[in-house]
Amino acid sequence: MDFILQPWPWYVVGPLIALTMFLLLYFGKEFGVSNTLRVACSAAGAQKFSDFFHWDWRSQKWNIIFVGGGVIGGFISYMFLEADHTVALASSSVENMRDMGLTNIGESYLPSQIFNPEEITVGTVAYLIVAGFLVGFGARYAGGCTSGHAISGLANLQLPSLIAVIGFFIGGMAMTYYILPHILPF
C-alpha cells in the first residue's frame, strides 16, 4: 500500500503512458491531447472564421471523453492515492527557483504564487492566459503537443516530431533560463 501512496517512479509511469497509447491504437484512435482544443473551437462555431475548424470534429468525441477521464484520474489520485502532496525536487533546481523569487517550493504540486486563487492579481491572470495561448498556438502550429510528437511521433520514428521536440526544448529552456527570472514573482 505504501508504494501506491508514494510518488510513482519513472519506470512505472513511462509504461503506463505507453499502455495508454497502445489502448487508444487498439481502439482505432490516435493519442494526441491538444486535438481536443481544436475540437472545442470547432464545437463553439470557429469555422465561421477559419476553414481550419471545418473538419470532421465530431469523430473526435472520444478524445473529449478521454480527457474527461483524465480529470477523474487526477481527482482520484489527489483524493485517495497520495500520502502527501509534496514534490521532492533536485536541490539545485530548488535553488534556481528560489532565485526566481518563489517560496514554499515543492510543498504542493504548483507554486501558490501563480496558481492560488487567494493570491490572484492582474499579473497572474495575464501570465496564465499568455502561457496557455503559447501552448495552444504552438501545439497547432507544430501539429501536435507532447503526446502527439514527443510520445506518438517519436515512437513512430518521425523526424518532424524530433524537430518539434527540439523546438519544445528551445522554447522551454529560453523561458526557464532567460524569461521567468525576470517576470516572477508578480
Partner 1 sequence: MKYLKFLGIGVIFGIALTKGQVVSWYRIIEMFYFDSFHMYGIIGLAVVLGIIMVQFIKRKKVKSIEGQLITFNPKNKSVARYLIGGTFFGLGWAMAGACPGPMYLLLGRGYWLILLVIFGALLGTFVYGLLRHKLPH
Q: Which of residues 16-45 bind partner 1 (CB under 8 A)?
A: 16-30, 33-34, 36-38, 40-41
Q: 145 and 123 in contact (C-beta within 8 Å)?
A: no
Question: Residue 122 CB, nearest distance to partner 1 (Å)?
Answer: 12
CB–CB of 114/120 below 8 Å?
no
Amino acid at 94: V
CB of 153 to partner 1, least distance (A): 6
Interatomic CA distance for residues 16 and 150, integer angstroms: 15
- Asked if 186 interacts with partner 1 (CB under 8 A), we say no
Report if residue 55 touches partner 1, rule: CB under 8 A: no
Q: Work out which of 1, 2, 58, 115 binds partner 1, going by CB under 8 A.
A: 115
Using CB under 8 A, which of 58, 71, 122, 182 touches partner 1? 71
String of contacts with partner 1 for each residue 132-171, x by CB under 8 A: xxxxxxxxxxxxxxxx-xxxxxxxxxxxxx-xxxxxxxxx
Shortest reach from residue 60's CB to partner 1, in Å: 11
Complete DSSP assignment for 57-92: GGGGHHHHHHHHHHHHHHHHHHHHS-S-------HH
Q: Which of 99, 103, 121, 128 forms a contact with partner 1 (CB under 8 A)?
A: 128
Here the cell at position 97 is: 527557483
Considering only residues 58, 83, 123, 125, which one is a binding residue for partner 1 as defined by CB under 8 A? 125
Spatial contact of 171 and 138, defined as CB atoms under 8 Å apart = yes
* Residue from 59, 68, 98, 181 binding partner 1 (CB under 8 A): 68
Q: And the C-alpha cell for 171?
A: 522554447
Contact criterion met (CB below 8 Å) for 140 and 162: no
Is 123 an interacting residue with respect to partner 1 (CB under 8 A)? no
First to last CA, the chain: 41
Is residue 60 a contact point for partner 1 (CB under 8 A)? no
